Structure 1
């Protein structure tokens, strides 16, 4: 539900769309015609129906079908994309193979669920397609080539290039369903980014809330791109995954407002799901020895950034907030012990606080 308590519409993953197109094309090869719509079974057993955009029988052994992805009310960059599948018959007993068509990427880095050189068609969609083809013929033999119209361009808006998935999008989905605003794809990309970094032997990761904090943190360490994790609002997603997939050192870098939220115990830093307690921030300022005039100004402040601006050069609010954020992060990681660092930056990339395992560095 959204904030207005209106029911949000669910959508379908690229994996579900590819499964529908693959089943339609495979049916056309074996029956000589296309169905008006095609029904598939999702991993949890739910049956859903898709309408086709493209339907073309190329030959007795080859057919193409496509489906337009509907992501529901989720702000998904692939919403409206055309998922195209070409099916070619293979000799009996040769099984099913997958290929990347135009707009689908190829794996170039280790650490992902697929081997280097494989098309970026994830394991669950592959299994969904295999199951769907088996509903038409037992022990299906087929070459399945999946493409996405304008997929190469759309992929530039995703984390694929950083993950080493080059040439296009990934065909994704573990349930087949897109839950609006669940941000499951983003969190999955965070996890895959950590996996890739660990596979490359990188022992210091920098997880940032945005571009400004990422660039500022990278300047401090001259870190390779694979070490950079686009955390966004999901501090909890990073910390919980690092707990079970540890590295030697983790730096959490973010803007003063988002890192203040973390310091106050929030693991989801999105403005719609958490907010800074300005009254608690005033208490911290008093605790740090601010005089009455400064406290009076801070009480009138409207934003966290304004509070930090007022405190700059007078009290070390940034270091204090970083220390509180580090304590929260350590609680999530407990009992796993890794070197942990918190960095706070303003919108200009100026550092307002650095704490590493309780030691003030600024």
Structure 2
């Protein structure tokens, strides 16, 4: 199938890129072909799990007495991440044993914690990229021959510091990743999967309780104000519903959800994907809860016209309507429990940057107490 280099995202034409797995497979195939055929090549075709056949340029060819080394420069398209522009090398060396041996060199991490797709102690080369390498190299390796492929990424150690790898228990470099071989521009799927990886690792370590936070502010409040250990805190970004579903899938029993009022008030209304481009009904939801608490008509109108959550909080404070926060916290917990099919107990802590913690429901208090007892 012909590769489609562009995708339309939110009405914009954006360029697709290639995963580290595709780059590693291309470099491995090219190095093997040049070793076998004793000639230089400057581009190579490979198949991707997506079904597209792609052509990648080959650079920095090096020869020794019994090996050939080359690289592919990672191109993330219009969705560049920390690995965009790195050099992914493959060295091919003939060996006496028939078959293909894959080794990892400089800049490729080692898995140190369970819960990933690769066993502890093994190089962080995921199963799909590994199969891609075996397939592509196998196409050019003569029958009865054997080759050792050594992958390396010199920038990997430094680049890994900008990724999730240290939190995931991958040390010494980056991972060779990719399930489709193609980087989709602005791919939310890849972002969700990276967040869910942390949940899978906690589950593999035997944890039944987890703390979910949409972002950095929630994480800092959890650590500094609630004294929760950072190892059981997982970020959700805007994918709160998705992460709750993953909690069920991985066998968690209790979830403590800690978030800013402006984010969690959406969840109170059953909005589980909280990006403002998808759903921004904060003023309307706050107004509804304030009205339920007896807000007068002038306050209702001002709340509806408020531009920010902080402005709405000021209006509520002026009107003396503070019971709204506990009501919202309880509703968030109930909505999340329903979202999980009643398989999770979910406690909620709501805060703002100026006021700090505004409310926590009884379930949150119970989970916090349990977390402290487990320390």
Question: Aligned-pair distance for 1:221?
Answer: 5.3
Classify 1:263/1:140 alpha carbon distance in 2 versus 1 (closer, same or farther; 3 Å). farther
Do structure 1's residue 48 and structure 2's residue 54 form an aligned pair? yes
Separation in structure 2 between the aligned mates of residue 359 and residue 226 of structure 1, nearest angstrom? 20
Classify 1:82/1:358 alpha carbon distance in 2 versus 1 (closer, same or farther; 3 Å). closer
Do structure 1's residue 230 and structure 2's residue 230 form an aligned pair? no
Secondary structure of the residue aligned to 1:124 is helix
Do structure 1's residue 111 and structure 2's residue 115 form an aligned pair? yes
Question: Aligned-pair distance for 1:355?
Answer: 2.5
Residue 25 of structure 1 contacts residue 34 of structure 1 at CA under 8 Å; is this kept in 2? Answer: no
Separation in structure 2 between the aligned mates of residue 276 and residue 202 of structure 1, nearest angstrom? 35
Residue 308 of structure 1 contacts residue 317 of structure 1 at CA under 8 Å; is this kept in 2? Answer: no
Partner of 2:350: 344
Partner of 2:321: 314
Partner of 1:120: 124
Secondary structure of the residue aligned to 2:12 is coil
Secondary structure of the residue aligned to 1:251 is strand
Separation in structure 2 between the aligned mates of residue 361 and residue 40 of structure 1, nearest angstrom? 51
Question: Aligned-pair distance for 1:125?
Answer: 0.3
Question: Aligned-pair distance for 1:360?
Answer: 10
Partner of 1:58: 64
Question: Aligned-pair distance for 1:356?
Answer: 4.9
Partner of 1:69: 74
The structure 2 residue matched to 1:330, chosen from 337, 348, 351, is 337
Residue 216 of structure 1 contacts residue 349 of structure 1 at CA under 8 Å; is this kept in 2? Answer: no
Mean CA deviation greater in 283-292 or 271-280: 271-280
Classify 1:18/1:30 alpha carbon distance in 2 versus 1 (closer, same or farther; 3 Å). same
The structure 1 residue matched to 2:273, chosen from 251, 268, 271, is 268
Residue 340 of structure 1 contacts residue 356 of structure 1 at CA under 8 Å; is this kept in 2? Answer: no
Partner of 2:183: 178
Residue 24 of structure 2 contacts residue 90 of structure 2 at CA under 8 Å; is this kept in 1? Answer: yes
Aligned length: 358
Separation in structure 2 between the aligned mates of residue 314 and residue 301 of structure 1, nearest angstrom? 16
Alignment of 1:17-166 (within 5 A): 17-60=23-66, 62-93=67-98, 95-99=100-104, 101-137=105-141, 138=143, 141-166=146-171
Separation in structure 2 between the aligned mates of residue 358 and residue 112 of structure 1, nearest angstrom? 29
Separation in structure 2 between the aligned mates of residue 206 and residue 178 of structure 1, nearest angstrom? 30
Residue 42 of structure 2 contacts residue 59 of structure 2 at CA under 8 Å; is this kept in 1? Answer: no
Partner of 2:22: 16
Classify 1:349/1:75 alpha carbon distance in 2 versus 1 (closer, same or farther; 3 Å). farther
Separation in structure 1 between the aligned mates of residue 364 and residue 291 of structure 2, nearest angstrom? 21
Cα offsets for 1:137-167 (capped at 9, x unmatched): 2476333322224222222221111111111
Structure 2: segments with no counterpart, 5+ residues: 1-7, 369-375
Secondary structure of the residue aligned to 1:104 is coil
Separation in structure 2 between the aligned mates of residue 85 and residue 217 of structure 1, nearest angstrom? 43
Mean CA deviation greater in 73-82 or 42-51: 73-82
Separation in structure 2 between the aligned mates of residue 149 and residue 13 of structure 1, nearest angstrom? 17
The structure 1 residue matched to 2:296, chosen from 278, 291, 294, is 291
Separation in structure 1 between the aligned mates of residue 169 and residue 187 of structure 2, nearest angstrom? 24
Structure 1: segments with no counterpart, 5+ residues: none
Partner of 1:209: 214
Question: Aligned-pair distance for 1:87?
Answer: 2.4
Q: What is the TM-score of this pair, normalised by structure 1?
A: 0.90
Mean CA deviation greater in 250-259 or 172-181: 250-259
Question: Aligned-pair distance for 1:177?
Answer: 0.9
Separation in structure 2 between the aligned mates of residue 75 and residue 261 of structure 1, nearest angstrom? 30
Mean CA deviation greater in 21-30 or 152-161: 152-161
Classify 1:115/1:50 alpha carbon distance in 2 versus 1 (closer, same or farther; 3 Å). same
**TM-align CA RMSD:** 2.4
Q: What is the TM-score of this pair, normalised by structure 2?
A: 0.88
Cα offsets for 1:180-223 (capped at 9, x unmatched): 11223322222221111112122221121111101212346544
Residue 110 of structure 1 contacts residue 196 of structure 1 at CA under 8 Å; is this kept in 2? Answer: yes
Cα offsets for 1:254-281 (capped at 9, x unmatched): 2221212222222222233332342232
